[in-house]
Amino acid sequence: MTTLAPSTSEGAAPPPVRRRRNRGGVSPALRADHNLARSVGVFLLWVVVVVSIAMLAWIVLQAFRDTREILSSPWGMPKSFDFTNFSTAWNVSGFAMATLNSVVTTAVSSSVCVAIACPAAYYLSRVESRLTNGLSLYFIIGLGIPAQVILIPLFVMLDKVHLTDSLIGLNLVYIGLSMPFTVFLLTAFFRSLPLEMEEAAALDGASALRTFVKITLPLAKGGILTAFVLLLVSHWNETLLALTLIQSTEKYTLPVALISFVQQQTYSGADWGGLFAGLCIVILPMLVIYMWLGRRLTEGLTLGMGK
């Protein structure tokens, strides 16, 4: 582990002074200073990293063992890779339907939300007037309102139009709820785009709408994708609203299905194998997205943070 910290032991230099190679051209002032506290810190960080990865691997491995094995030795390894737990969870415990619901809801609500927020954010970032300032503020207010405040009124409202216990209703709620964040993020992103191209397009006689569609949208692909992925993550994991608005089993999203699975165990005995398979179904899509678009996620979350 200590080898990973940049060379610590080059103390008493031998007479023929060999200059240390400058790693990546970093000036000596920027290199880490080395003392005990730091080494301990580095060591602890690596422990955290190793434990986190081990934990994830452990969850996946446990999903391949049956409940009795898991309970008798929680540290054991699966004897063979059989997918019984997954197929049970998938077919019997209703995770298949829930996964399908979750995938559809997440994809639909995220795309619609981005599609609606894009033009609004563009307008708010390009036109500066008292009205747009007010509108920006109006959207930002929503960032500070916790979901539980609007939980009950939403339930009552949707009930009036028969949209409770319906995935359409859930989609609408997700779109409305994510609007402040998406508009905020995309406004910050559009502001960071250069104006020159749009001006050139305008000089060439393109209308404002055409400029937006042909010039700005392609330029903003990165930011839009970032917003979309962040929405995917938050909608995939959303629990409180889904738990409130959805009642029938065949419309459960994954988190709700997982909760009901946990609660059933009280009556039917623990099925840890199935539970671990369920956890895997919740975690693995996020892992795939993170591996694939991880940099976008972290950049998106820190975008506009400082300014």
Partner 1 sequence: MSALTTKLPRRASGPAEKPGRRPGGSSIDRQRRKLLVPFVGPAFIFYTVLFIVPAFAAVWISLNDWAGSGPMTFVGFSNYIQVFQDPLFLKSFGNTLLLLFVVGAVVFALAFAMTLVLRDMAAKKIVRNVIFFPHLINALVFGVLAGFIFNPGGMVNTLLKPLGVSEPPAWLAQDNIFPLIMATMVMTTTGYFTTILMAGVDRIPPYFYEDCALAGATAFQRLRYVILPLTWDVFGTCAVLWTISSIKIFEIIWVFGGSSGAGIPPTQSWTVAVYTYVTAFSGLSTPAYGAATASAIISLALVSVLVVLLRRAMRRDAIEF
Which part of the chain contacts partner 1 (CB under 8 A), choosing from 11-19, 83-91, 92-100, 140-148? 140-148
Q: Which is nearer to partner 1, 59 or 97 (CB)?
A: 59
Q: Which is nearer to partner 1, 15 or 209 (CB)?
A: 209
Minimum distance from residue 95 beta carbon to partner 1 (Å): 14
Q: Enter the tokens of residue 198.
A: 């749009």
The site for partner 1, by CB under 8 A, has a size of 120
Minimum distance from residue 216 beta carbon to partner 1 (Å): 11
Task: Provide CB contacts within 8 A for 3, sequence distance 6+.
Answer: none
Closest C-alpha among 229, 211, 216, 207 to residue 189: 216
Minimum distance from residue 145 beta carbon to partner 1 (Å): 6
Which part of the chain contacts partner 1 (CB under 8 A), choosing from 12-20, 76-84, 85-93, 262-270? 262-270
Q: What angle do CA 159, 161, 163 make, to 5 degrees?
A: 65
User: Which one among 13, 57, 77, 301 touches partner 1, defined by CB under 8 A?
Assistant: 301
How far apart are alpha carbons 77 and 101 in whole angstroms?
Answer: 32
The 218-257 site mask, x for binding partner 1 (CB under 8 A), equals -x-xxx--x------x--xx-xx--xx----------x--
Instruction: Find out whether 66 and 255 touch, Cβ atoms under 8 Å.
Output: no
Binding to partner 1, residues 48-67 (CB under 8 A): 48-49, 52-53, 56, 59
Binding to partner 1, residues 1-40 (CB under 8 A): 4-6, 27-33, 35, 38
Q: Which is nearer to partner 1, 90 or 169 (CB)?
A: 169
Task: Provide CB contacts within 8 A for 15, sequence distance 6+.
Answer: none
Q: Which is nearer to partner 1, 90 or 226 (CB)?
A: 226
User: Which one among 176, 197, 214, 217 touches partner 1, defined by CB under 8 A?
Assistant: 176
Binding to partner 1, residues 106-135 (CB under 8 A): 116-117, 119-120, 122-129, 131, 135
Binding to partner 1, residues 65-94 (CB under 8 A): 71, 74-75
Minimum distance from residue 84 beta carbon to partner 1 (Å): 19
Q: Enter the tokens of residue 266.
A: 């009280």
Q: Other C-beta atoms within 10 Å of 60: how many?
A: 17
Minimum distance from residue 15 beta carbon to partner 1 (Å): 26
How far apart are alpha carbons 246 and 154 in whole angstroms?
Answer: 13
Binding to partner 1, residues 151-170 (CB under 8 A): 151-157
How far apart are alpha carbons 96 and 254 in whole angstroms?
Answer: 9
- Torsion sign over Cα 69, 72, 75, 76: negative
Tokens 């890779």, located at residue: 81
H-only helix segments in 63-129:
67-72, 84-91, 95-126
Minimum distance from residue 22 beta carbon to partner 1 (Å): 14
